[in-house]
Amino acid sequence: MNITFTVNAVKDLEELPVALRKTTFKQLELLRRDIRHPSIHAKKYDENNGVWQGRVNLGYRFYFRIVGSVYRILRVIPHPK
């Protein structure tokens, strides 16, 4: 699978501290290899719109859609607790 980013996701990534950005890219690489990787905790977030949620760490999540063979990263934001 390939990964692409929306403009909003790129802006989100640019605003993250360097360590958190590095963790995000590590998690995205795990997603690329296997959506079922246990540290990602990928799950459908909004089934009507085809949006999934994955874990960066306890405080941050990334949201994505699966379009063919591409994971389209929509946002990387603090976890809405």
Rounded to two decimals, the pTM is 0.94
Is the CB of residue 38 less than 8 Å from the CB of residue 72? Answer: no
Distance (Å) of CA 72 to CA 19, 32, 61, 81: 22, 11, 14, 23
Is the CB of residue 29 less than 8 Å from the CB of residue 37? Answer: no
Instruction: Give the SS3 label for residue 62.
Output: strand
| pLDDT tens, residue by residue, 25-68 | 999 999 999 999 999 999 999 999 999 999 999 999 999 999 99
pLDDT at 17 over 80: yes
pLDDT at 81 over 80: no
pLDDT at 76 over 80: yes
Instruction: Give the SS3 label for residue 35.
Output: coil
pLDDT at 16 over 90: yes
